[in-house]
Amino acid sequence: MDKWLFLAFMNFMLLFIFLTSFFVNKTSNSGIFFGVRFPKEYQEEKELKDIEKSYRIVISIIFFIMLLGVNILFFNLDNYSENTLGFIMAILIIGSLIISFIVYIPYYKKVKTLKKHRDWTYTKRNVVVVETTLRKPKKDEKIKPIDSKWFLLLFIFPLVSILVTMYRYDALPKVMEIPYTSFGVFKKETLRGHFIIYQFPIVQIFLTALLYGINKVIINSKVDLNSGSIEKAIIRKRKFKKIGSILMMVMILQMLIMFSLIQASILFNFDPMIINYVFMVIFMITMIIFIIIFIKIGQGGRNIETKGEKDELYKDDDDKWILGSIYYNKNDPAWMVEKRLGVGWTVNFAHPKSWIAVGGLIVFIISNIIMSILLT
């Protein structure tokens, strides 16, 4: 693994986590402030702005110290191994996410207490709206996500990789050099075998299936219509789903092309190092563009222009969200919902399907760890 490419990627990930933490309220769902729902008329109160200012100062100082420490550590790191760098990266990413959430918790509690003491809620109005076209868009709908059927066409990438690999298999040397990681290229000599040769097409199949499933989730997940006017909220949600779907398509295309070229480097014996560098840069640029877009539009499209919008929708559902971020509602049949805090989707932990999904994710992570050990 190239030390400096690793450092660049690590800095990028820390900055990414910092930005999502810094703009947590701007990117959260409409009407949400530190995981607590407020009626539209109270969302610009000075007390809330002062709390957010304090939070941003604290989170900025913490991540500045972390970034400085990481760079000092790596500039003075001489003896390192592939496994050491991978372990450090995992610890730093998980650690920064945990630290970010720990910093958030006291501000969530402070805002929740403030809402209760100031009685910033509606006591006579709790509205529930059902809009079926958001989950099942009409064929003639202008603003809608990419149809999941298009994702199925992407299986042509692993199919072609498998067919070309089958054709070239007998011509490959019995002892080969296999690209070991996408952070630079660490070549490892290994005996030719079907598992080794077909590992990248297998990854392509899994990624395509995964992104297909995620796009289905984007289309069919429950939509949070709890703030703003009904008509404009629906438009915002449609635009947000479309952008999320486009992000999935761009990401999967980049990854499939990258793995196809890496597989080609194995089959036709050329150095894939430049491929890894180029695609890493392209991936970072893509993520930066989408970070800017999501900060600008917010979760569910909350920041899309809505001049003169009335607060027709309001449902105080704070009791359904543990710490303002973990959804647990036994009365909700939906198992996938929009995130309340930050951008994306989450699960209803009161639904059995959610635990199946979490279990599947854990199995996938453990399987990858075992595969890495076997390949090592």
Contact present, 366 and 374 (Cβ < 8 Å): no
Average per-residue pLDDT in the chain?
A: 76
Going by pLDDT thresholds of 50, 70 and 90, the confidence category of residue 24 is: confident
Q: Is the pLDDT of residue 56 over 70?
A: yes
Percent of the chain predicted with pLDDT > 70: 73
Cα 191 to Cα 174, 195, 198, 371: the distances in Å are 6, 10, 13, 16
Question: Tell me, what amino acid is at 272?
Answer: P
Q: Is the pLDDT of residue 114 over 60?
A: yes
Query: Would you state the pLDDT for residue 105?
Result: 94
Backbone angles phi, psi at 298, to 5 degrees: 75, 170
Contact present, 234 and 131 (Cβ < 8 Å): yes
Query: Would you state the pLDDT for residue 186?
Result: 42
Query: Would you state the pLDDT for residue 72?
Result: 87
Q: Is the pLDDT of residue 189 over 80?
A: no
Over residues 359-373, mean pLDDT: 72
Span of 40-44, 53-57, 135-139, 346-350 with lowest mean pLDDT: 135-139
Q: Is the pLDDT of residue 185 over 50?
A: no
Q: Is the pLDDT of residue 82 over 70?
A: no
Query: Would you state the pLDDT for residue 263?
Result: 83
Query: Would you state the pLDDT for residue 54?
Result: 94
Query: Would you state the pLDDT for residue 20?
Result: 87
Count how many Cα atoms sit within 13 Å of the Cα of residue 227 in the half-sphere of its side chain: 25
**DSSP strand pairing (175-179 vs 36-37):** unpaired
- Overall pTM surpassing 0.75 (yes/no): no
Going by pLDDT thresholds of 50, 70 and 90, the confidence category of residue 332 is: confident
Angle (CA) 259 197 208, round 5°: 40
Which residue has better confidence, 216 or 164? 164
Span of 170-179, 275-284, 288-297, 349-358 with lowest mean pLDDT: 170-179
**What is the SS3 assignment for the chain?**
CCHHHHHHHHHHHHHHHHHHHHCHHHHCCCCEECCEECCHHHCCCHHHHHHHHHHHHHHHHHHHHHHHHHHHHHHCCCCCCHHHHHHHHHHHHHHHHHHHHHHHHHHHHHHHHHHHHHCCCCCCCCCCCCCHHHCCCCCCCCCCCCCHHHHHHHHHHHHHHHHHHHHHHHHCCCEEEEECCCCCCCEEEEECCHHHHCHHHHHHHHHHHHHHHHHHHHHHCECCCCEECHHHHHHHHHHHHHHHHHHHHHHHHHHHHHHHHHHHHHHHCCCCHHHHHHHHHHHHHHHHHHHHHHHHHCHHHCCCCCCCCCCCEECCCHHHEECCCEECCCCCCCCEEECCCCCCEEECCCCHHHHHHHHHHHHHHHHHHHHHHHHC
The span from the first CA to the last CA of the chain, in angstroms, equals 14
